[in-house]
Structure 1
């Protein structure tokens, strides 16, 4: 079995042949050591200076964790904050950036929720049917546009390479939790079909600690894709996805300073489709893609089953991209030009038909993208990208990115520089809750600039990588509060926020079938709301964090242990509006699989095996020790 975390240390990547140039390349056809998000066209990991981590299918199966967010805790530079039980609001912060400063893709579809905070509801993403998790750290706006200040999370679903595949799993355990799924597909010479159906249900526990009102969660997700190679030059792709989940939660008592039992629930529905045609000419050296992607997100809030309010968002994205490849001497060149046209719509509705929060909004962005990449046979690769966004709601913006890597034997040197932007969300601009929050239509986009440099080494199944990074953020959108009217709002900060730190990751092949992976991140993230004022430590960003993962694989059984270590973090007690410190904790997962036949496994998993007190958000405790068991099969 592969190591639990595959790190994109340039020195660790072997010389693996690229996919044939005469085949249009879609996400499914891209396997490590390739990346689908560090460039607008598929490239080798060894050819980019961007910091990347990948978790592949064997590692996902080894731990058998229910949600993708559980695996992100093991990746350097990533902080996960969950508001209590399974399915509760969960935020991902990459290198200290804000939770809405990253873009999430599923099979190439941008899934960030346009209806609320602009974040992807990572707490709704089940792990069943996921083949690969890829995380890029640092600004990627020059490639992927607004919000990619902290980085990019890319999810690839499972599909067969040849023949028929059917797989499934069923697990049950603590807190009345049951999850399962079935998936499969068929791949022939010209047609590939795949899909997954998965579900999860849990009773949860009472986050308010009194009253016995358990905060449960239910989720059903369906995903499918069809790829048809209509001719040697033309390939067509269709991806569809639908997720429907309900999260039950408690209210917050500002007098008591914590959660209080209330019959509240949020239903989250998200539907997405991607249709793409790729035309490869000149023996595959010139590939043009035209694609259309549509995402709809609905967030419906209820109290005791009665409708209270909802916010709905839609995003349509048309993308036209052309990539040419050519060689001169020992140099390989890759030149891409792209046009992105994105339209977003936002609707909010309240149970009171006369409420000020009832509204419809719309905005459009047209973007031009150019990217050039160079690679040589002596281990030197470099890239440059520029993007110009033309907005109908904001001033136009230009972002850039440069990266380079040089391999010298077993050692590699890598570096990158990038700028990023994050447009205000619809909620920031137009959100309105009578008596509590009012949006600000005069906001301007946030801007970021980042530089990183590192060194990697790999030999004989062992690897090590160290990266230094430094970033700053201006025009940060911050919360405001009027003590006279008691209305909260948002505004652009006049100060400059900073994020700098160190990421270290290593892998060791200790023995046959036994691997060790470790990571450590030091992060110094500070906020300056007013220019010239003192810097204040950012909340929910640990100064020290890391992971240790040990994995053993043999013919009769597999065993895995993974510890996600989170240092102390600051937060805010919103009842008293005073700073508080969240204690450090270590979440240890123990998992195993007994191969009772070549096609059937019995599985077991213990989460939070140390029964650590986990509080990622003030006053919201995580679950204690839980145990789960089940069965999985493959045909």
Structure 2
């Protein structure tokens, strides 16, 4: 295929010239080929979309229990972490909502279809054998369908390789935290197997109220990944199998009160008393996610045709338990999806590559509750289907174009058409790539929204409709990637604009009654910058990112909640001392609204993290981290505590 024949001369999204900046993981220059941008291997210099790749080294340096600090290094991505270990972690791309980011694990959708917005809670994810994380920014529904309004995050696990390998690590530190990771692989040309796991336990701290004196909220996480390959890549049929599982048990407090809810007047002392009471709650939550795929691929007609068939499935289960004076409230969310996707790529020689495909999926979602008032239950079972096409062509060897279109169907009528076009102009002699993209996005109403409307429609037949139109977006971006001084300095700049229409909002009638309706509009625009530089060859490297974005609710004129206008990261990595490596990472998150329609804001903050490793022997490495070195006191979002200065030490072994 055309993209595969070309040498991957691209420079991976470098990382910017920043001001204060970020919990940096090193920008990913590791992979010059990305998969998510065009549903198949594509050199970055031929990719017109904005892509960031977080590589294996950066992932291995991150916390064993969470990828939050690593995600903050992606330009255009905002993270909200509600209370440390076991707390909810929401991600927003380019001003879009949490449910507007499609999350994939090995290409399989893992968004929680039983949630109110189909979002993915990143707190469930525990790093095991992750090869890389590709973040594709901007509307991508033409390639991936519903939910991809803001972009796509594809988590790619490590493929098994030939030979025998093994690894194990253990880390312990503050808040009674112990984390272990382990794995191994074996294989030959005919068959390859790999498996990995992780166990993370922490006593934690109180998520709400007084962090250190209120009842601590602990968490325990289990994760595992198994992959297998039968056949030789590029030589005959290849069968790939993969299963990933995650389980998290955690304590949690009631949500922090607002000043108006907690006290008759704006009284800070009263608020702190109310928050302290909520910080003593002994609530529990358990979340589990299992996802898997089986993919059969091959080639024919002298590699001019490359078909693949993928079977996939995901099961997501979440239960919250809140003890009361006389009974325990139990909320149970369950979602399951399974289906098949076919994709075939046809090589057209000078006319490029044409990819055609179709998808059939069964989605089931359910919510039920015990000992609770208000909207109590819903159950949804729907069949979704899609047809898509992508044409990639290169002109004059330097100009790379792509055109994509997709139709998503739903027997209930929530159909939509989306499109995308990209261009990349690769000026290899100058070390420059110019790129641009434009696309549309769409998102169906969730099962929760439809179920809620159906529950209250009989009481308000003239007001509430069961029909909710898909949310829509249109987005544009224009960027440049530049390499200077023989690759010692690489930088990237991207300007973007997104407009969101028919956004679905909850309209309250009388507690607990209400309904969902397409009533909101919003827009976001901004600038994403990134850079990395070799300061002293073989000794010192720097990387940085910066995001400036403006968001606006077009009906109220207010900025959208939990999207800071300014944020960034700055990292320095020292490698010049034999067997020793150290890194300093600075994160800045600017001021932002706490909730929609409010004037209450979350203060900006600056956080410094340090890490180091020393190779004791060829296969054994001693590691150490200090997080939040300056003991910065910050909250994100408001009312939820974050960890103070924390220390961790570990030992890693590889074979």
Give the TM-score taking structure 1 as reference length: 0.89
Shift of 1:204: 0.9
Residue among 237, 242, 263 paired with 1:239: 242
| Deviation of the 1:618 alpha carbon | 1.7
User: In the TM superposition, what are the counterparts of 1:326-341 in structure 2 within 5 Å?
Assistant: 326-328=348-350, 333-341=352-360
Query: Per-residue deviation at 1:398?
Result: 0.4
Alignment of 1:414-493 (within 5 A): 414-431=435-452, 441-459=466-484, 460-461=486-487, 462-482=489-509, 484-485=510-511, 487-493=513-519
Which shows bigger deviation, 496-505 or 111-120?
A: 111-120
Instruction: Show the counterpart of 2:550.
Output: 524
Q: Does the CA contact (< 8 Å) of 2:11 and 2:44 recur in 1?
A: no
Answer yes or no: is the 8 Å Cα contact 1:10–1:456 preserved in 2.
Answer: no
How many angstroms apart in 2 are the aligned matches of 1:212 and 1:634? 40
Secondary structure, counterpart of 2:599 in structure 1: strand
Unaligned 5+ segments in structure 1 are: 1-8, 15-29
In 2 relative to 1, CA 40–159 (structure 1 residues): closer, same or farther, beyond 3 Å?
Answer: closer
For 1:218 and 1:337, the matched residues in 2 are separated by: 43
Matches within 5 A, 1:559-578: 559-572=582-595, 578=598
Residue 201 (structure 1) aligns with: 201
Looking at secondary structure, tell me which structure has more strand per residue: 1
Q: Does residue 248 of the first structure (1) align with residue 251 of the second (2)?
A: yes
Q: What residue number does 2:71 align with?
A: 72
* CA deviation vs aligned residue, 1:29-67 (integer Å, no higher than 9, x gap): x97111110012221111111001111112223344531
Cα distance change, pair 604–224 in 1 and its aligned pair in 2 (3 A): same
Shift of the 12–368 alpha-carbon distance from structure 1 to 2, 3 Å rule, reads: same
The Cα offsets for residues 574-630 of structure 1, whole Å up to 9 and x where unpaired, read as xxx843110111222210001001110111001111211221112112111111111
The answer (yes or no) to whether the contact 2:215–2:279 under 8 Å persists in 1 is no
1:551 alignment partner, one of 570, 573, 576: 573
Q: 1:603 to 1:31 in 2, by over 3 A?
A: closer
For residue 465 of structure 1, report the CA deviation from its aligned partner.
1.1
> What's the secondary structure of 1:579's corresponding residue?
coil
- 133-142 or 353-362, which deviates more: 353-362
Would you say 1:594 and 2:608 are equivalent positions?
A: no
- Which ranges in structure 2 are unaligned for 5 or more consecutive residues? 1-7, 14-28, 263-270
SS of match in other structure, 1:617: coil
Distance 1:308 1:496, change over 3 A: closer
Partner of 2:97: 98
- From 340, 343, 363, the counterpart of 2:362: 343
Q: Give the 3 Å change call, closer, same or farther, for CA 394–527 of structure 1 in structure 2.
A: farther
- SS of corresponding position for 1:280: coil
For residues 546 and 539 of structure 1, the distance between their equivalents in structure 2, rounded to whole angstroms, comes to 18
Match of 2:390 among 371, 376, 379: 371
> What is the aligned partner in structure 1 of residue 217 from structure 2?
215
- Structure-2 separation of matches of 1:212 and 1:571: 23
Please report the RMSD computed on the Cα atoms of aligned residues, expressed in angstroms. 2.6
Find the residue that maps to 2:69 and give its secondary structure: helix
Give the match for residue 6 of structure 1: none
- Structure-2 residue corresponding to 1:536: 558
What CA distance in whole angstroms lies between the structure 2 residues aligned with 1:339 and 1:378? 30
Specify the alignment match of 2:650 in structure 1. Answer: 630
Query: Hey, what does 1:5 align to over in structure 2?
Result: none
Residues 403-460 of structure 1: CA deviation (Å, up to 9, x unaligned): 001122222211000100011121222149999xx99733211000001001221132
Correspondences of 1:41-120 after superposition (within 5 Å): 41-64=40-63, 66-116=65-115, 117-120=117-120
Q: CA deviation at 1:310?
A: 0.4
Superimposed CA distance per residue, residues 171-201 of structure 1 (whole angstroms, 9 cap, x where no aligned partner):
0111111111101212311222111111111
User: What is residue 225 of structure 1 aligned with on the other side?
Assistant: 227
Query: How many equivalent residue pairs?
Result: 598
Q: 1:582 corresponds to which residue?
A: 602
State how 1:494-509 maps to structure 2 within 5 Å.
495-509=520-534
Q: Does residue 399 of structure 1 match 2:418?
A: yes
* TM-score scaled by length of structure 2: 0.87
Deviations 1:140-163 (A, max 9, x none): 100011000111111112244331
Q: Which moved more, 1:399-408 or 1:351-360?
A: 351-360
Q: Identify the residue that residue 609 of structure 1 maps to in structure 2.
A: 629
Residues 376-415 of structure 1: CA distance to partner in whole angstroms, max 9, x if unpaired? 5632111010001111223321000000011222222110
